[in-house]
Amino acid sequence: MKKRNISALSDSFHYLVRISLNSKVDLLLAVEFFLLAILYAIFMFSDKVPVLGLVVLGMLWMARLWMTGIEGIVATPMDLPIFGILALLPISLLASTDWSLSLPKVYGVILGISIFYAVVNAISTISRLELAIMGIILLSISVAFLGLIGTDWTTSKLFSLPWVYGHLPRLIPGVPRSISGGIQPNIVGGALTFFIPFLVSLLFYRLEFKPTKSKTNVRLVTILRTGYKPILFFSLALTSFVLLLTQSRGALAGVAVGLFVLALWHDRRFLWTIPLAALAFFVLAQVWGVGNLAELTSHLDVSGGITFPGRMEIWQRAIYMIQDFPFTGVGIGTFDPVAHVLYPFFLVGPDVQVPHAHNMILAVAVDLGIPGLVFYVALLSGFAFSAWRVYQAARPFRVLIVGMACGMLAHQIFGIMDAFMLGTKLGAVMWVFIGLSTALYIRRNQLAMEFTENDKEVEKAGKDYVLSSSAFERKSVKRQWLSRLGGFLLPFPYWALFSMLAISLVGDQPYISLAIALVGGGILGFICRKATESKNTYNQME
């Protein structure tokens, strides 16, 4: 009896400690998001990140780790690819011939990864998930508005609307490293590809914004419930309008594919639109007076008036770089100076600035080498496999996860003919989407049960996932760390195998080498997902 009383007192003490720490952990997360917003704003307009800001960010992570212990470290399928990319950044800097071009990309990658982990750590309850969705809607409005006031518009690529472009204000005149002083339209279009399929999917998703006991929270919930739908429709209209203004063919094609897959998921009868779309394509080709498909493709612009043959020349130069620098790449962000010095263009011209390889796969391999490409593809395949697992296991979030997957698909279609280099400023959108998908994956059971209100204990435990892991408490701290380290390093030999195999063939068979890197990265993402499965406490509830 005495032992039972002592055990009950111990459990009560641990519960009170958790409750007292919950507010502190939440406060640290809030400060972390605020600091990241400030650092990213500085980075957007200066190409630099204050070292003091990064130090404070690291101190916040250490403080959260000290408060939560090993229980606060959530294993994700993205850990090995992310830390692999981070480990390759110093090597890429050593290979770089121009740090003024490379350092901004390094800052962008670090901030993007920081945003990823902040999102993963923050989304632990349905209420936080709903706030995150609202945050993405507001982020889409911010990106579209940034495009409206800071883009170097191309006024006559697909259509000419001088009366529209002439009335758009130019409030951001000096974007660092910009060719014309403003944001490149394809960059804005590439960022918007994420949002539009996701926003359309939200039209079919139910957000309740459940209140808590706090009166302030009740008022906030009332505001969110009232304004959610109007804000959603406004963001969808604004992002679609700005996407059209960019006249980015890759972005428009990507969004079209993403929306088609989304529509097909809702109703397979949309398959009938494929022959109709093909017919419309050829009709438009005739209306524009192009004449035939070959002539149409020759008019596809890359940037600065470069035609499709010029783009193929750029791709060929990227292949040469990968063959000559397969281990390290030429240095992140340095494609243009390296190409003009070592691999001069003939069709593009010696005076045209070409900032990247205009293909996302080639751009990553050029920047970080084939090992970096394997990590990058593993990141994407980890997203895909995690999204599929959420789709299978958590029915309440199917509409949400399909919207995110279609947004990611739209961006990858855009990346076939253009590129978002790793570290691109608006590339933070990709990390937000991957972070949201990962948070849904690692807490799919808890969030699904809380959503359906079938288990009140899970809902209560969900108020702070990092402090409610009894499974970890039964292990020693040493065993916990060894278990996490083993799960993290398990996929590492597969990465080394795929990378070395691809590098061994790159000299004679570069296309086969890239194919091996792509397939290997896809397999690596699956292995990372499987290795993570047994490490997450909430997945043990299945």
Q: What pLDDT shows up at residue 93?
A: 93
Report residues of the chain scoring pLDDT below 70. Answer: 1-22, 69-72, 155-159, 174, 177-181, 207-221, 223, 281-307, 453-488, 534-542
Q: Please report whether residue 1 resides in a domain.
A: no
pLDDT at residue 536, rounded to an integer = 53
The separation between CA 436 and the C-alpha centre of its own chain, rounded to angstroms, equals: 9
How far apart (Å, rounded) are the C-alpha atoms in residues 49 and 182? 20
For 47, the 3-state DSSP assignment is coil
pLDDT at 339: 92
The pLDDT of residue 22 = 57
d(CA 136, CA 117): 16
6 located within any domain: no
306 in any annotated domain: yes
Q: Is 438:120 a contact under the CB 8 Å cutoff? A: yes
Q: Which of 151, 115, 149, 110 is nearest to 135 (CA)?
A: 115
Which residues, in sequence order, are CB contacts of 95 under 8 Å at separation 6+?
325, 328, 329, 330, 331
Tokens representing 288 are: 């524009």
**Alpha-carbon separation of residue 19 from 56, 68, 496 (angstroms):** 25, 12, 44
Range of the domain at 363: 11-541
Reduced DSSP (H G I as helix, E B as strand, rest coil) percent helix, strand, coil of the chain, to 5: 75, 0, 25
Give the per-residue pLDDT at 338: 93
DSSP per position, 440-500: HHHTHHHHHHHHHT--HHHHHHGGGGGG--HHHHTS-HHHHHHHHHHHHHTTHHHHHHHHH
| Domain assignment present for 337 | yes
- The predicted pLDDT at position 2 comes to 47
Going from the C-alpha of 274 to that of each of 264, 306, 416, the distances in angstroms are: 11, 30, 20
DSSP codes of every residue in 259-292: HHHHHHHH-GGGGGHHHHHHHHHHHHHHHTT--S
Q: Is residue 156 part of a domain?
A: yes
Q: Count the Cβ atoms, other than its own, within 10 Å of residue 471.
A: 13
Please give the span between the terminal C-alpha atoms of the chain, in angstroms, as a whole number: 34
Question: Could you tell me if residue 487 is inside a domain?
Answer: yes
Contact 251, 416 (CB under 8 A): no
Question: Which of 54, 23, 137, 88 minimizes the C-alpha distance to 464?
Answer: 23
User: CA 92 to CA 105: how far, in whole Å?
Assistant: 11
Q: What is the pLDDT of residues 3-18, one digit of tens each?
A: 454 454 454 434 433 4
Structural domain contains residue 5: no
Q: Which residues contact 311 (CB under 8 A, 6 or more apart)?
A: 300, 302, 358, 417
Residue 431 buriedness (CB in 10 A; 0-12 / 13-18 / 19+):
buried
- Asked if the structure places residue 513 within a domain, the reply is yes
pTM of this structure: 0.85
Facing residues of 160 across strands?
156
- The count of structural domains within the chain is 1
Beta carbons within 8 Å of 207's beta carbon, 6+ residues apart: 130, 133, 134, 224, 228
